[in-house]
Amino acid sequence: MRPGPTESTADDDLTYGAVHLNVTDLDRSLVFWRDLIGLTELGRDEPGQGPANETGMVRLGVNDAELVVLHPGAVRPVQRGYSALYHLAIHMPSEAEFARILSRLFAARYPHAPTDHITHWATYLDDPDGINLEIAFETIDRVRSLEIVGGRPQIIDTEGRRHDMTEPLGLEEVFSFREDDDDSKPLPEGCRIGHVHLYVGDIEAAQSFYEGVGFTPHMDATGIGFADMSLGGTFPHRIAVNTWQGVGAPQAPEATAGMRHFELVDPEGTTPVRELTDPSGNSLVVKPAV
C-alpha cells in the first residue's frame, strides 16, 4: 500500500497545522467545507473569544487533526491579480478515500477538475468565495526522475515514460480502489494538509524566505514562473510558489476572502511560536507540537 500523509510526513522537518481562511458567509462556507467536503466540526469560538478573533470562528478537521479554520467577516470574495493563496491541499490517507470523495463530488454535480500530477492524484474545486481546494493522494512511487526542459518540468515515470506535470486523471483506475458505495462518510482520520501553493510577486525572494523557514529547494521551473520545495522527507511538493498573478503582485485589499495564515508545526516541540510574513505578504505561524 502507498503511504498516506501521516506516514509520508514522518521524516519531514515540519508538518502543517491548520489553514485559516477568511470567508464572507460562514453558514454558506460550512455547507461546502463540512457538508460537501466532509470535514468534521471540531469546535466554535463565539464572538470575542480567542486571540485576535472578534467575530467568532469554526474549527474543522478530522478526528485526529484540525485542518481548516473558518473566520467570518470578509466583505468580498477572492480577488484576482494579487499575491495570496492559490490553493490548500488536503491529502487523503488511501486510494479508497480519494475515490470516495471524488464519487461524492460527481454525485453532487459539483464542478471540479480531476488531474494527474504523477507525483499525486488530485482534483480541484472552489468554495463559495472562490478559495481553491485541492484534494490529493500521493503517488510518488510512480516517479523515477524529474527534468526541466526549456524551463518546463517533465516527469519520467518508473517505466521510463515522459509526462507533463498536469495530465488527465485515470478515473477508471481511481474508482477501482473503492471499497464500498457509501459516499456520505466524513473525511477519515489520517487526512492532513499536505501542501499549500501560493501566488507570490517574486519567486527568488519567496524561495529564499521559505528556505529560511525550513523548506528544501526542489523544482525551479522559471519557464512557467513556478517553484516548489520539500520539507526534507520523501514527498517533494510541500510548498509551491508562482507568479501567475503577476510579478510584484501586491496583497489583496483588507477584508477580502482568502487565506488569513497557515500553520507549520515543529514535531520536536523545540521551536517557539513565530508569526511570519513572506516577502509577498502571505502570513504563516510556526509553532511547536503540543
Per the structure block, which three cell numbers stand in for 36? 460537501
Per the structure block, which three cell numbers stand in for 219? 523544482
Q: Is the pLDDT of residue 108 over 50?
A: yes
Mean pLDDT over 61-74 rounds to 97
Enclosing domain of residue 16: 5-288
pLDDT digits (tens, 9 = 90+) for 137-149: 999 999 999 999 8
pLDDT digits (tens, 9 = 90+) for 137-195: 999 999 999 999 888 899 999 999 999 999 999 999 999 999 999 999 999 999 999 99
Residue with cell 518546463: 152
pLDDT of residue 136: 98
CA distances from 225 to 64, 153, 155, 206, 251 (A): 36, 11, 18, 12, 18
State the Cα angle at 95 between 182 and 146, rounded to 5°. Answer: 155
The H or E element that residue 229 is part of is strand 226-230
Using DSSP, state whether 228 is helix, strand or coil.
strand
Q: Is the pLDDT of residue 101 over 60?
A: yes
Q: Is the pLDDT of residue 1 over 80?
A: no
CATH number at residue 249: 3.10.180.10
The H or E element that residue 239 is part of is strand 239-242
Q: Is the pLDDT of residue 53 over 50?
A: no
CA distances from 209 to 205, 214, 246, 263 (A): 6, 9, 19, 16
Q: How does the average pLDDT of the chain come out, rounded? A: 95
**Residue 152 contacts residue 223 (beta carbons within 8 Å):** yes
Percent of the chain with pLDDT over 90: 91
pLDDT digits (tens, 9 = 90+) for 218-275: 999 988 999 999 999 999 999 999 999 999 999 999 999 999 999 999 998 888 999 9
- Phi first, then psi, for residue 229 (nearest 5°) are -145, 155
Mean pLDDT over 85-92 rounds to 98
Number of domains in the chain: 1
pLDDT of residue 96: 97
Per DSSP, the residues of 47-97 read TT-STT-SS-EEEEEETTEEEEEEEE---B---SSSBEEEEEEEEPSSHHH
**Residue 114 contacts residue 136 (beta carbons within 8 Å):** no
pLDDT of residue 47: 67
Strands 84-91 and 65-72: unpaired
